Structure formats: C-alpha cells, structure tokens
Structure 1
Amino acid sequence: MPELPEMENYKKQLHPLIHGKKITAVDIERPKSLNVAPELFAREVIGTSIKDIERRAKHILFHLSSGKILLLHLMLGGSMFFGSEADKPDRTVQVTLSFGDKQLYFIGLRLGYLHVHTVDEVDGLLEKLGPEPLDRGFKLPDFKTRISAKTTNLKVTLVDQGFLSGIGNCYSDEICFDARLLPARRANSLNPTEQVQLYESMQSVLKEAIRYGGYMEPLFAGDKVTGQFDSMCKVYDREGEPCARCGHPLIKRELSAKKCFYCSNCQR
C-alpha cells in the first residue's frame, strides 16, 4: 500500500503536470470506486481545473476550481499513471481523468477510491488522523508524549493512523530497523534515549524515501524519480537476506496480524 513517501512523491510529481489544467473528460470503468453515480461525478468534474494538490496521510486531495475536492486513497495495489493510452501500464484502470490529450489513470482501485466531496466533508473524514510525522510543528517532545502513552507494540503503534498519519507496513519496519529497535517492543517501554532514536529514524527514513521517490512504479514515461527507494529498503520484503548492518539473516513474522521484517541480531 502506498504510504506517506509515495503519496508525497505523487503530489510533487503531479503538480507541474496538471496544476491549472482543465479536466476535459472522465471515464469510469468501476462505479464502486466512486461515492456518487458516474453521471454526477462527471458533472462535478468535467470543465473544472486542478487548483491545488495536497497530501494528508496516505490520501491525495485534488482541489478543483469549483471548490470541491477529489479525495484519493489508493489502498492495497493502487497506483497512478499520467500519459497516453500507449504508454500506460498493462493493468486494469478503474477511473480516468483526461486533460486534453493526456490522461491521469487510476489503476488497481479494487479497494481504493476516488471520491468527490465538499471541503467540510473532507475535514470531517480526515479529522481523526494523527499528526503528520514530518510536520515542522511536530517536535520530539510531542512524539515522546504520544508514544509514552501507547501500550501496543511498535509495529502496531507506528501504523496506527490515529497515532501518526501516513506510516504503513513498509516504513514502520524500515524505521524500527534504522532505530535498532524490535517491532515487537512495547511503545511505552522505550527509554528516553530509545525514544530519540525512534523519532530521529522516523524523520530520516521518511525524508530519504521521499527524496528517492518511494517504492512505486514510474508515474509517467521517462520518470527518473519515482520508485528509486525500492532497492534501498533495508528489511522490508527481504526475508532471508543478510542484514545490511550485521549480516544476520533477516526474519519475517506475523506480528499482531501484520507481516513484519527485522533483524533479530542487531535490533533489540
């Protein structure tokens, strides 16, 4: 599932491509990906332009010139591609927005969605999300206060969108590895030094993942940014490979019904 770095990368990459551009047509292959009838969706969208693109947690918000917002959540297996029919990946497309001769394809939205809402509706839907971990106003003392109150393990704590928004299975493992902490550790068991380690690892891992475009497939033909972080993951999806830090084989296990990758030798 795309997480904070992937969606932040999408936001940055899409801005110069569609900002200010008029939506000239829509194509709906899967009405269940919408929250309104396809005919109403088309009326709400066609003829409007993209006024702004915002990310919140794992969502992207397309602000339309009409004042409405298209709220996107890709969920598991979802992705986007911008370009022509000839260039797009050979995958099932559920929704297409046309910008003249170029299209924005929403792919793999079997669990994901593209909903049209008012600003107030979006605010209500997202109000339960926790702070953005990279927000300038979210400092170490705030992190310490929040994590000291959590009795769940680090894996469950970090992916809890009410605790912090945007972190999922991949980056929770990468953050714990960078901090040298086992994902099974109880969040409130961390000493002050470990809390600092976790906070700093969270900051550095997420920023580096954004810098290298996360782990998704290219957003458009010739995209040299998106997906560069995939090969840089230290533990996620690397079961049995030698740990990059100590050489010990990496482990995969189920932890609180979530798959988890870590090094049992150098994470404590």
Structure 2
Amino acid sequence: MPELPEMENYKILLNQKIAGQTITEVQVNREKSINVNPDLFTRTVQHQKIMTINRRGKHLLFLLQNGQILLLHLMLGGWVYYGTEADKPKRTIQVRISFGDNHLYFIGLRLGYLHLYNSTEAENHLAHLGPEPLSNDFSIHEFKNRLSHKHGRLKTTLLDQEFIAGIGNCYSAEICYDAGILPTKDTDDLGDPERKRLFQSLQSILQKGIQHGGYMDNPLFLGDKLTGGFNDLCQVYDREGKKCNRCGTIIKMETISSRKTFYCPYCQK
C-alpha cells in the first residue's frame, strides 16, 4: 500500500506534469471508485484547471479551479500512471482524467477511491488524521507527548493514522530497524533515549523514502527513473529469511495486528 513517501513522490511529480493544465475529458469505468453520480462527477471536473496537488497522510488532494477537490486514496494495490494511450499499462483502468493527448490513469481502485468534495467536506473527511511527521510544527516534544498517551505494541502505534499520518507497514518496519527497537516492544517500556531515537529515525527514514521515490516500483510515467528507488534500500521490510545487512543475522517476520512485521532479532532490542 502506498504510504507517505510514495504519495509525496506522486505529489511532486504530478505537480510538475499537470498543475496548471485543464482537464479535457473524464472517463469513469467503475462507479464504485467515485462517490457521486458519474454524470455529476464529469460535469464538475471536466474543463477545470488543476490548480495544485497537495498531500495529507496517504491521500492526495487535486485542487480544481472551481474550488472542488478530488481526494485520492489508493489503498492496497492502487497506483497512478500519466501518459498516452500508447504507453499506458495493460491494466484495468477505473478512472481516466485527460489532458489532451496525455491522460492520468487511476489503476487498482477496487479498494481505493477518487472522491469529489468541496473544501469543507474534504477537511471533515481528513479531520481524524494525526500530525504530518515531516512538518516543521511536529517537534520531538509533541512526538513524546503523543507517544505517552499510547499503549500497546510499537508497530500498532506507528500504524495508527490518528497518532501520526502516513506511516504504514513498510516504513514502520524500517523506522524501528533504524532506531534499533523491536516493533513488538510495548510503548510503555520505551525509555527516553529510545523515544528520541525513534523520532529521529521516523524523520530520517521518511525523508530518505521521499528522496528515493518510495518503495513501490510502478513508474508514474514513461522514463520515470525515480519512483520505486527506495525498494532496494529496505533493510528489513519484505526480507524475511535474508541476512541483515548490518550484522548478518537472518531477518524474521511476525504477524502483529494482522500485519506482517519484519525485524532483525540482533540489531533490534
């Protein structure tokens, strides 16, 4: 599932590709991927200019000239592609938004969605989300304060979108590894030095994920060499049975709250 770095990468690249462009055509192939009648969706979106694209947690917000917002959540298996009919992926397209000869394809939205909201509705839809972990306003003091009110396993806490927005299965594993802390550890048992390391790792790993285009390796456009670059840099995620790059110990996997959790039993205490 795309997490904060993947969606931030999409945000940056899509702003370069389509910000300021006018939508010339809308095609809805799966009505369940949107939240209003397809005719209303098309009438509201078509011929509108994309003013900018923002991100909140794992969501993208496409701000239209008429003040409406397209809110995207890709969920499990979702991705987007920008290009022509000739180079589009051979996958089922749920929604297509066109900009002349180029199109933005929304793929794999069987669980995800592209909803149309006004600004108030979009704000209400996202109101439950916790702070953005890379915001200048998110300090170590706030992190420690929020963590002091959480109980249970660290892995589950990091996945809680009301605690912090944007972290999922991949980056929770990589953050815990970088901090040298077992994801199975209870948050009540974390000392102050561990909490400080966790905050530092949280920020550095997410920034590194963005810098290298996230871990999902489906290119956004033809010739895209950035997207998915973090996949080869993962130290524990999806590496069960392989050797730890730091100590050589075999990476283990456990299931916590129905989520696969990867860690090095030697490097993480």
TM-score, reference length from structure 2: 0.98
Residue equivalent to 2:78 = 78
SS at match of 1:260: strand
1:231 aligned onto 2:232: yes
Q: Deviations over 1:42-88 (max 9, x none)?
A: 00100101011000000000000010000000000000000011211
- Confirm or deny: 8 A CA contact 1:149 1:188 kept in the other structure: no
Q: What residue ranges of structure 2 are gaps of 5+ in the alignment?
A: none
Q: How large is the RMSD of aligned CA atoms in angstroms?
A: 0.7
Q: Deviations over 1:79-119 (max 9, x none)?
A: 00000112112211100000011000000001000000000
SS at match of 1:52: strand
2:91 and 2:41 mapped to 1: Cα distance?
Answer: 23
1:226 and 1:129 mapped to 2: Cα distance?
Answer: 25
1:215 and 1:266 mapped to 2: Cα distance?
Answer: 22
1:31 and 1:146 mapped to 2: Cα distance?
Answer: 39
SS at match of 1:229: helix
Residue equivalent to 2:253 = 252
- Confirm or deny: 8 A CA contact 1:243 1:249 kept in the other structure: yes
Residue equivalent to 1:106 = 106
SS at match of 1:71: strand
Q: Which amino acid aligns with 1:179?
A: A
SS at match of 1:26: strand
Residue equivalent to 1:92 = 92
Residue equivalent to 1:32 = 32
Residue equivalent to 1:222 = 223
1:49 aligned onto 2:63: no
1:168 and 1:91 mapped to 2: Cα distance?
Answer: 25
Q: Deviations over 1:177-199 (max 9, x none)?
A: 00010001111211010001000
Residue equivalent to 1:129 = 129
SS at match of 2:103: strand
SS at match of 2:181: coil
Residue equivalent to 2:138 = 138
- Confirm or deny: 8 A CA contact 1:62 1:70 kept in the other structure: yes
Q: Which amino acid aligns with 2:224?
A: D
Residue equivalent to 2:2 = 2
Q: Give matches, 1:108-257, under 5 Å.
A: 108-216=108-216, 217-257=218-258
- Count of residue pairs brought into register by the alignment: 268
Percentage identity across paired residues of the two chains: 55
Q: CA deviation at 1:244?
A: 1.1
Q: Which amino acid aligns with 2:205?
A: V
52-61 or 83-92, larger mean C-alpha shift: 83-92
